[in-house]
Amino acid sequence: MTARHAVASADGLEFQLLAEAAMDLLCVCADERIHWINSAGAALLGAPWSDLAGRPFAEFIHPDHGPDVDFDRLAGVAGGMPLKLRRADGSALVAMVVVRAAGDGRMVVAAHDLGHAPAGAEQLAGAVALLDERIRTLAEHARRNDLSARVLEVASEGIMVLGPDLRITAVNPAYTEITGWSTSEVMGRKPPQLARPEPDDEAQAMMLMFDSATTAGRWQGEAWSRRKDGEAFAQRVGVSTLRDDQGQVLQYVVVFSDITQRKLDEERIRRQATHDQLTGLPNRALFIDRLAQAVSQAERSRQMVGLMFVDLDGFKLVNDTLGHDMGDLLLQEAGRRLGACIRSGDTVARLGGDEFTVLMPNLGIYQHAPLVAGRILDSLRRPFELAGREAFVSASIGITVFPDDATDAPTMLKYADAAMYRAKEHGKANFQFFTADMNAAVEERLAIKTGLLKALERDELRLHFQPKLDLASGRIDGVEALLRWQAAELGTVPPAKFIPVLEESGLMGRVGEWAIDAACRQYRSWQDSGMANRPRIAINLSVRQLRAPGFVELVERTLARNGVGAAALEFEITEGMVMNDADHAVAVLNRLSAMGIRLAMDDFGTGYSSLSVIKRFPLDSVKIDRTFIADVATDPDSVELVRTIISMGRTLKRRIIAEGVETRDQVALLRQLGCDGIQGYVLCPPVPAAELAAILERPIEL
């Protein structure tokens, strides 16, 4: 039997409970040294458990007996022996002492205080019988609980047994493993949490546990504690109170487990629900909650709340050209810069994509908002170093203020968004305060988004076609299909209004598939009507389509379903679309080209604009962006830019098409520079298929 046999469940504590319930000294000795002693024994010898543990029991036998009294002799005395004992303070007492062997070199010692008066034969016989009975009972319980004790040796829960004075009388190995405190460091002492010179929160919490367990018999809950090395850990704790027949507290049994990892996992899961995984900033859900709280508090305190909606200008180009990994790095750095611009107590959140928000509760004066916005603009204007590459973006910021503009959180967010779009309309890289006239724009944008969700189902989308003229032959050799929307509730919605919303809504993939099918159906209609010079139809692809698994197969099925050949189609792509994951883009475009579909680089000159870009991809033509054409007839610099692009195209045997051509002077200059084809209002605006037939039949004279 060891001290640990007295640890833990109700059954496992039975030995210790019986021993503690006794009014006589009961102790276990190993190698004749005190290994465990009950409270009555410690009181009898006049010393706390911590001072008695490990000391030879012979130290407490009075010197008057001389060296003849030892454990072997005492164990051999069947009826026990009256002995004069010496307390720790040197005072003497007379006790009947019974010693019994417990195996493995251990002895169980029992002593009954006989007082200072000489004991009669009857008293001695009664004391011996009582002590023998107690030792037999204890030995039986020790044997019965030996298996339980061994199980507790390997239990993963820490177990600590304390006396009524909250001094530790037993611990198991898991206690040491979890806390770092060894048995010898804590036995006979109060738990380390209660032994600190200055009581702290942890000590107060532990005392509340014991107070509750004393009152109710048991306490369960979670608490934080510290290991020996000072490291904090979370624990699940159960405290049970054990009492004698008179209701007096005998012991407290504390069972605890380390739940630190579980708490960390719970915190990680909670944080995932409330924080953006990329930047670590609060996400939309947490931000809206904080905004609502700020508004509620401001209503009570009659203060202002500022809200900024920040959109990164130029992020899409960085993401498309440098790749998503670089885009992610930029977003992370942008989040850090935003955080450095705000006041203590403000909140920066990422709503998604390249959209951030800034919450400014307790806005002291109206002018604080533009000051913060100015710092943000300056901060984001600086170049971003992305793994050795440099990128530039700016910010469009919309600002709204409670209660001047709106009186609830959802409306504030809507108004800040509207002000941000007004900032974009004003050339980007600026901030705008919400004004009443923006509310109509907000409602219109919401109506457009709602209508687009039903546009495909209601068959409201149409393709209009704008011709492309071959300057050498004077013949229209192709048309570009452009999306138009005739909405039931909204009427004709201009592309400039619905295309941005379409891209944001996630419907561009479905609409792109519809456009390819509609173009094939139109070409088949021309084919069935016997049109001789059927123009090739050019369709603008989106990044989503180009990256979609099975896109090439989708095109093949669409062509086959409509009974038209691949030569009927031309796909227009942008530089940004193909530079992100260029290898995948090259593979897809090569397959499309091998089918016989023509490929054109649209908006050339707004991205990389290099020979390597044109050379790497299987392009048939390159379209010069309209921004270079607008001043080509009057601006020498524009002329040189166009001349360079045309020269690049000729070097790589690509046709060069000029977009946005509006005047005859532009046509004449482009022809002189060697441009292959033109497209623009100088020919005609985009028109329905029914009107296009007449245009195709008449001669073009420019």
Q: List the chain domain ranges.
A: 3-146, 154-263, 280-436, 449-697
pLDDT at 329: 95
Residue 655 scores a pLDDT above 90: yes
Residue 338 scores a pLDDT above 70: yes
pLDDT at 132: 67
State both tokens at 209. 């546990």
- Provide the pLDDT confidence category of residue 194 given band limits of 50, 70 and 90: low
Adjacent-strand bridge partners of 402: 305
Q: What does the alpha-carbon distance between residue 356 and residue 505 come to, in Å, rounded to a whole number?
A: 18
- Provide the pLDDT confidence category of residue 144 given band limits of 50, 70 and 90: low
* Residue 399, phi then psi, degrees to nearest 5: -125, 135
CB 159 within 8 A of CB 253: yes
The residues, any chain, with a CB within 8 Å of residue 456's CB and separated by 6 or more, are 507, 510, 511, 514
- 3-class SS at 582? helix
Of 155 and 504, more confident: 504
Per-residue pLDDT, averaged over 251-261, amounts to 88
- Provide the pLDDT confidence category of residue 10 given band limits of 50, 70 and 90: very low
pLDDT tens digits for range 456-466: 889 999 999 99
- Provide the pLDDT confidence category of residue 4 given band limits of 50, 70 and 90: very low
State both tokens at 394. 């700016």
Q: What does the alpha-carbon distance between residue 486 and residue 422 come to, in Å, rounded to a whole number?
A: 25
Asked if 280-436 and 449-697 have one fold, the answer is no
pLDDT at 8: 31
pLDDT at 689: 92
Q: How many CB atoms lie within 10 A of CB 233?
A: 17
Q: If you average pLDDT over each of 116-120, 305-309, 367-371, which comes out highest? A: 305-309
- Provide the pLDDT confidence category of residue 16 given band limits of 50, 70 and 90: low
pLDDT at 514: 95
Q: How many CB atoms lie within 10 A of CB 330?
A: 24
- Provide the pLDDT confidence category of residue 7 given band limits of 50, 70 and 90: very low
Exposure string over 481-490, b if 16+ CB within 10 A, otherwise e: bbbbbebeeb
C-alpha torsion angle, residues 544, 546, 552, 554 (rounded to 10): 20
- Provide the pLDDT confidence category of residue 12 given band limits of 50, 70 and 90: very low
pLDDT at 607: 58
pLDDT at 663: 92
Q: What does the alpha-carbon distance between residue 174 and residue 7 come to, in Å, rounded to a whole number?
A: 12
Class of the 280-436 domain?
alpha beta
CB 357 within 8 A of CB 287: yes
Residue 221 scores a pLDDT above 80: yes
pLDDT at 562: 97
pLDDT at 131: 66
Residue 11 scores a pLDDT above 50: no
CB half-sphere exposure, 132, CA atoms < 13 A: 12
The residues, any chain, with a CB within 8 Å of residue 24's CB and separated by 6 or more, are 40, 41, 44, 110, 111, 112, 113, 130, 131, 134
Q: What does the alpha-carbon distance between residue 614 and residue 624 come to, in Å, rounded to a whole number?
A: 12
Per-residue pLDDT, averaged over 583-602, amounts to 93
| C-alpha distances in Å from residue 285, one per residue of 83, 288, 514, 641 | 78, 5, 34, 48
Residue 386 scores a pLDDT above 60: yes
pLDDT at 117: 46
Q: What does the alpha-carbon distance between residue 152 and residue 138 come to, in Å, rounded to a whole number?
A: 19
Determine if the peptide bond prior to 403 is cis (ω within 30°).
Answer: yes
The residues, any chain, with a CB within 8 Å of residue 631's CB and separated by 6 or more, are 638
- Provide the pLDDT confidence category of residue 20 given band limits of 50, 70 and 90: low
Helix axes 409-425, 284-301, angle to 10 degrees: 110
Q: Does domain 449-697 have CATH number 3.40.50.300?
A: no
Per CATH, which fold does 154-263 belong to?
Beta-Lactamase (3.30.450)
pLDDT tens digits for range 603-653: 886 655 556 677 888 999 999 988 889 888 888 888 998 998 899 888 888
Q: What does the alpha-carbon distance between residue 417 and residue 423 come to, in Å, rounded to a whole number?
A: 10
pLDDT at 151: 46
Q: What does the alpha-carbon distance between residue 501 and residue 481 come to, in Å, rounded to a whole number?
A: 19
- Provide the pLDDT confidence category of residue 126 given band limits of 50, 70 and 90: low
Q: What does the alpha-carbon distance between residue 532 and residue 564 come to, in Å, rounded to a whole number?
A: 15
Pairing of strands 475-487, 81-86: unpaired
Of 343 and 439, more confident: 343
C-alpha torsion angle, residues 125, 130, 134, 135 (rounded to 10): -10
| C-alpha distances in Å from residue 623, one per residue of 172, 443, 626, 644, 676 | 80, 36, 9, 13, 10
CA 371 vs. chain centroid, Å, equals 31
pLDDT tens digits for range 528-553: 998 888 999 999 998 888 888 899 99
State both tokens at 448. 């457009």
Residue 56 scores a pLDDT above 80: yes
Adjacent-strand bridge partners of 461: 485
Residue 582 scores a pLDDT above 80: no
- Tell which CATH architecture fits domain 3-146: 2-Layer Sandwich (3.30)
State both tokens at 134. 């107690």
Adjacent-strand bridge partners of 679: 468
pLDDT tens digits for range 26-55: 788 888 888 888 777 888 999 987 788 889
- Provide the pLDDT confidence category of residue 199 given band limits of 50, 70 and 90: low
Mean pLDDT value across the chain: 85
